[in-house]
């Protein structure tokens, strides 16, 4: 009997071990499958601007293409206000599970220098997902303007400080800060004339009430095409594909000048790395899709679609660069 019991117990133990190992493998597969299943519900992209603008169009087009890749709807939620802070803050305080993102722009990099206190930490409360793309601003004048080149503007401003006026769609916007950088690097003085939006600002440039404006490619495009406005420079480091015949400000006399409008996606800090990777992959494919490229062509968007780290480093450089300009010009919002 003694010799019979030992092999029986041994056999039972072996069976138990096999069951345990099988259960462990099944559990591991289950966890892996759960992680691989992201997303299991709709993903939300917050647009911190009102519907209908350039950022909204980019977000909606990108979201549609991402939904095809992710297999779940991508919902666009507009939360404008406080210079993008309201919408951005809502994502900073969202659950870090990959189901909430914000599409950020130039404002994200300059707000830390403009605001004495933000309701979130730009540095610590966000996880970069992807820099979708960058686009130029275009320096425009009316066709009969005495300022037909960057050098004309610089010469007039040097001869009579404050004489040359430049419009913007509002204080601390990309158009405003482009003008401030122009003054800083050119060591000249212009007069800033802020408006409530690009539309009225461009109307007054066309009407001759204001001399020049650094407008987005999308905002000035139809006016340049019709001959109502003349493009005399673009603000990117290299000539822009949307205006290949127009020189850069840098090659026109201010070699360090560079201003870009940009669009990128952030998730809340703490979002799992594998989820960030999945969102990055989906957004990169969306940004390179034929339908997205065709829709954003008027924006003059140069697709980036790199890694999360590359986006994070890009914005860090933008924050540092604009902090210096904002401080030198004593700009507040």
- Shared-domain flag, residues 113 and 158: no
Token duo for residue 302:
């140069």
Residue 317's SS3 state is: helix
Domain coverage including residue 217: 136-252
Domain for residue 15, yes or no?
no
- Torsion sign across C-alpha atoms 76, 296, 89, 50: negative
- Shared-domain flag, residues 237 and 267: no
- Shared-domain flag, residues 242 and 276: no
- Shared-domain flag, residues 272 and 129: yes
Q: How many CA atoms lie within 13 A of 2 on its CB side?
A: 0
pLDDT at residue 144 tops 80:
yes
pLDDT in tens, 230-273: 999 999 988 988 889 999 999 999 999 999 989 999 999 999 99
In angstroms, rounded to a whole number, what is the distance separating the alpha carbons of residues 230 and 224?
Answer: 6
pLDDT in tens, 159-190: 999 999 999 988 878 899 999 999 999 999 99
Q: From residue 286, give the alpha-carbon distance in Å to each of 16, 59, 74, 132.
A: 49, 11, 12, 9
Token duo for residue 321:
């660069």
Which one of 252, 284, 318 terminates a domain? 252
pTM equals 0.79
- Shared-domain flag, residues 182 and 100: no
67 contacts 238 by C-beta, under 8 angstroms: no
Q: Given pLDDT bands bounded at 50, 70 and 90, which one contains residue 6? A: very low
Share of the chain above pLDDT 90, in %: 65
Rounded average pLDDT over 40-66: 91
For the chain, the helix, strand and coil percentages under 3-state DSSP, each to the nearest 5: 50, 20, 35
Q: Report the chain's terminal Cα–Cα distance, integer Å.
A: 91
- Shared-domain flag, residues 149 and 241: yes
User: What is the count of structural domains for the chain?
Assistant: 2
Which one of 224, 252, 280 terminates a domain? 252
CATH code of the domain in which 68 resides: 3.40.190.150
147: left (phi over 0), alpha (psi -120 to 50) or beta: beta
Which one of 186, 219, 252 terminates a domain? 252
pLDDT at residue 43 tops 70:
yes
Share of the chain above pLDDT 70, in %: 89
- Shared-domain flag, residues 147 and 238: yes
Omega of the bond prior to 39 within 30 degrees of 0, cis? yes
């Amino acid at each position: 009997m003694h010799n019979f019991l030992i092999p029986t117990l041994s056999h039972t133990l072996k069976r138990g071990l096999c069951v345990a190992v099988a259960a462990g493998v099944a559990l591991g597969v289950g966890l892996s499958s759960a992680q691989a299943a992201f997303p299991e519900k709709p993903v939300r992209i917050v647009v911190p601007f009102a519907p209908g603008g350039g950022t909204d169009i980019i977000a909606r087009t990108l979201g549609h293409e991402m939904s095809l890749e992710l297999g779940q709807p991508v919902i666009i939620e507009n939360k404008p206000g406080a210079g993008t802070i309201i919408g951005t803050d809502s994502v900073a305080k969202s659950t870090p599970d990959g189901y909430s993102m914000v599409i950020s722009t130039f404002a994200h990099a300059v707000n830390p220098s403009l605001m004495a206190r933000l309701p979130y930490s730009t540095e610590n409360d966000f996880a970069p997902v992807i820099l979708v793309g960058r686009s130029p601003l275009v320096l425009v004048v009316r066709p009969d303007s005495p300022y037909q080149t960057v050098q004309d503007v610089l010469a007039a401003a040097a001869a009579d400080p404050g004489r040359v006026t430049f419009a913007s769609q509002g204080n601390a916007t990309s158009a405003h800060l482009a003008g401030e950088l122009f003054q800083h690097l050119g060591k000249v003085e212009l007069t800033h004339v802020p408006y409530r939006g690009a539309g009225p600002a461009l109307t007054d440039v066309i009407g001759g009430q204001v001399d020049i404006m650094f407008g987005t490619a999308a905002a000035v495009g139809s006016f340049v095409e019709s001959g109502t406005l003349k493009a005399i420079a673009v603000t990117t480091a290299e000539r822009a594909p949307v205006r290949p015949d127009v020189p850069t400000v840098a090659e026109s006399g201010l070699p360090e000048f560079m201003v870009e409008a940009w669009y990128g996606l952030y998730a809340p800090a703490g979002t799992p790395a594998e989820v960030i990777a999945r969102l990055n992959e989906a957004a990169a494919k969306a940004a390179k899709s034929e339908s997205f490229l065709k829709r954003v062509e008027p924006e003059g968007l140069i697709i980036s679609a790199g890694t999360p780290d590359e986006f994070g480093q890009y914005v860090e450089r933008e924050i540092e660069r604009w902090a210096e300009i904002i401080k030198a010009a004593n700009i507040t919002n």
